[in-house]
Amino acid sequence: MRILRWAHGAIVVCCALLFPLSAAGAGGPPAQKLPSALLVYPLIEATGEKDTRIELVNLSGNPVSVECFYVASGSCNEVGFMVYLTPYQPLSWLASGGKNDVMTGSSVPPFFGAGEMKCAVHPPHPEVQYHNAIQGRAIVFRIADGQSASYGAVGFQRLSDGEMTGTFSLNGTTYAQCPNKLHFEVLNDVFDEQTGAPLSTSEMILVPCAEDLRLQIPTGMSVQVLIYNEFESQYSASFALLCSDRRTLSEIANTLNRAVGGTDTAHVVIRGVGGPVLGLVVDTLRFRGQNGTTGNEPSFEGGRSATVYFPEPQ
């Protein structure tokens, strides 16, 4: 599978050299591991059995205000709040407990259930370096035994100077674009051959890249799935997404069941129809009869424009 993917990448590079992209058509997925203006955490969970440690850090030498929204899966309800970070300050809290910081005035409400979180910088000045200030991570863990899955928040950089208006045009000019496709290398689900009981099942979590947090309008779309097993056989599937979607791999397609697909791993390509998506897979690892979990972040292919609306700054 990796050889096939590298070969595809080589073809793309060759074509780019032969047919240069115009400035208007240029675009690509958002660069990661960089200070950003907008962050998306695809999975926040606080259910009594599980909780989430949320981490947010100001990587700039300037104080910044950050506006965040929890969006609950299922109900699509939103809860907004502000945090204030001093230069180079890290901030951490449990989703179930929230946080009150009397020194900075940050007030994070508790969150219960499952959903996502989006956070945006309110820059003190219009220059681009004041926008791109934050990074984030989250650790979702089971309270009883500490079994966890961690991942990095998806970051979108501001690309040009200007005021923060609440409208995040992820178009490759004002802000970085959303990825067009998500690529995952996953472990197929395993079921007991005698009873059919699940022994280890991985979950895919997807959220829309575009969102209207100003008018609280839920975002819905269809999701296309392409699956390549270790023999390079190709399968396809599709399903609907509203606000967020979470399902086991074998619920997406029975070929992601090891007994059906015939291989331990698969390469899965995700593309939203009607808008780009973001997400991660929580892989379940089975070793010596015990299960463990790990966060499985995708690689990005291509760029695709979308808009995220925050309330206009007061």
Same domain flag for 150 and 187: no
On whether residue 120 sits in a domain, the answer given is yes
pLDDT of residue 285: 83
Q: Are residues 95 and 142 in the same domain?
A: yes
Rounded CA-CA distance 206/309 in Å is 19
- Region 88-101: what's the mean pLDDT? 95
Mean per-residue pLDDT over the chain, rounded: 90
| Cα–Cα distance for residue pair 311/161, rounded to 1 Å | 20
Strand, helix or coil for residue 48: coil
CATH code (residue 44): 2.60.290
Enclosing H/E stretch for 266:
strand 265-273
Contact yes or no for 147/270 (Cβ under 8 A):
no
Tell me which of 150, 170, 190 is where a domain ends. 170
Same domain flag for 224 and 124: no
pLDDT digits (tens, 9 = 90+) for 245-271: 999 999 999 999 998 989 999 999 999
Whether residue 281 is predicted with pLDDT greater than 50 in this model: the reply is: yes
Residue after which a domain boundary falls, among 120, 150, 170: 170
Compute the distance between CA of residue 295 and CA of residue 139 in angstroms, rounded to an integer.
Answer: 9
Count up the domains in the chain and report the number: 2
Which of the listed residues 126, 145, 170 is the one where a domain comes to its end?
Answer: 170
Per-residue confidence band for 101, with pLDDT thresholds at 50, 70 and 90: confident
Range with lowest mean pLDDT among 7-21, 29-43, 61-75, 250-264: 7-21
The pLDDT score that the predictor gives to residue 28 is: 87
Measure CA 248 to chain center: 17
Look at residue 12 and tell me if it is in a domain: no
**Nearby residues of 256 by Cβ (< 8 Å), 6 or more positions away:** 186, 188, 189, 227, 249, 250, 266, 268
Weakest mean pLDDT among 151-165, 183-197, 236-250: 183-197
pTM for the model stands at: 0.89
Residue numbers of the domain that contains 165: 38-170
Under the banding of pLDDT at 50, 70 and 90, the label for residue 213 is: very high
Do 209 and 260 belong together in one domain? yes
268 and 286 within one domain: yes
Same domain, 160 and 183: no
Residue from 276, 296, 156 nearest 223 by CA: 276
Residues 164 and 74 in one domain: yes
pLDDT band for position 2 (cuts 50, 70, 90): very low
Q: Is residue 16 part of a domain?
A: no
Q: Are 165 and 183 members of one domain?
A: no
Contact 164, 134 (CB under 8 A): no
